Amino acid sequence: MTTLFISDLHLAAERPAVTELFGAFMQKEATRADALYILGDLFEAWVGDDDPSETGAYVAARVCEVADAGVPVLFIRGNRDFLLGDAFARRAGMRILPDPAVVMLYGKPVLLMHGDLLCTGDTAYQAFRAQTRNPAWQAQFLSQPLAARLAFAAQARAASAAHQGGMKQQDKTQFETLTDVATATVDATFAQFGIHTIIHGHTHRPAMHDLTVDDHACQRIVLGDWYEQGSVLRVEPDAMALEALL
């Protein structure tokens, strides 16, 4: 009995080796799991379910194989694929969860998130996030031609990389602080939901953090990214392990 968690794969045509690693993971391990949770940023960018990319088609097929094997596949949107919609979810046979979402994991309530909501120190990003999650903004964006949406996504990625690169050069310590979770927000989230375990991705800092919140022992588990290798959290009824896929 094993439930699998992955996030931050950032799959794209430019990184075929990682896409192949994902396919092998889905076919060899995910088809035997109790459930598979994908906590956002499955794709490097997603500009709408009408995108006919080969990567999208390949991913949908691999996910559908897992679902057809009787394994529930649950997905939380990330900051790179927040426009992934019901059409692609149906095509892939997976179910979209809200962010955040409380699920029961072997009888224990656990809070699942992509993780960007915890990074409240980056106020510029949080403002951008609020804007792009607005249904009116999304409707206007999705009404544009596919080529225009792809160009916007490429420009946004370049601007983000330049912004982060500038922050690193100016003050690396501040960069690390702004791009990681805010301790006060983490504590408030534990208290708000009344749970003792949070699993999320986004920060690309894989770790299992033990902490105390309001005199309760809590754990925050951060999934790793798939830029150079895979990362998976395997949870069993009485054990869990955060490991790299080599």
Q: Which residues are annotated as a binding site?
A: 8, 10, 41, 79-80, 114, 122, 160, 169, 172, 202, 204
Cis amide bond preceding 145, omega within 30: no
* Tally of CB atoms within 10 A around 145: 8
Q: How far is CA 85 from CA 25, 75, 79, 92, 214, in A?
A: 24, 11, 14, 11, 38
Residues flagged as binding site for substrate: 79-80, 122, 160, 169, 172, 202
**Separation between Cα atoms, residue 184 and residue 186, nearest integer Å:** 5
Strands (E), 151-200: 197-200
Asked if residue 113 lies in contact with residue 99, where contact means CB atoms within 8 angstroms, the answer is: yes
Residues flagged as binding site for Mn(2+): 8, 10, 41, 79, 114, 202, 204
**Pairing of β 95-97 and β 73-76:** parallel
